[in-house]
Amino acid sequence: MAASRYRRFLRLCEEWPVEETKQQRDFGSFLRQRVAQAFREGENTPISDPEACDQMYESLVRIHTNFYKNKYPRLKDTTFTGVTVEDCRTILATDILKQMEDRKNGTWKRLREKFSAKKPEEGLK
C-alpha cells in the first residue's frame, strides 16, 4: 500500500509546475523536497499514519486542480486594490523582491551614514 501512495505523490510532483521566477520560494520545489524526505526508502517506506497521508494527498490534489477556485468563482480577476494576478506574479518574482530589498538597504545605509557622519562634539552643541 505504501508503494501506491508513493507513486501517487510522485505523479503529483511531476504534474506540479515549478516557477522559475520564485527561486527557493517555489511550492513545487518544496513539495518535491518534502516527498523525498517523507519517502526516504521509496516504495518500501513504512507509513505510520496512512489516513493522514491520504488526507494530505487529497488536499494537495484539491490545491493543484484549483478545486476551490472553481467551486467559488470570483466575479473579477483583481484584488480590492485593482492589482491583477499577473501584476502579483511580477511583484513576487525573486528578482523584483531582491531589487526592492537592495533599494531598502540603500536607503537605510544612506540614513545611517547621514547620522553617523556627525562628530560627537557636534551632537553636544
pLDDT in tens, 88-103: 777 777 666 666 666 6
Domain ranges of the chain: 1-73, 76-118
Q: Are 62 and 68 in contact (CB under 8 A)?
A: yes
- Confidence band, pLDDT 50/70/90 cuts, at residue 24: confident
| Tally of CB atoms within 10 A around 70 | 8
Q: Are 15 and 65 in contact (CB under 8 A)?
A: no
pLDDT of 97: 66
The CA distances from residue 5 to 47, 104, 118, in Å, are: 9, 46, 65
Chain-centroid distance, C-alpha 90: 14
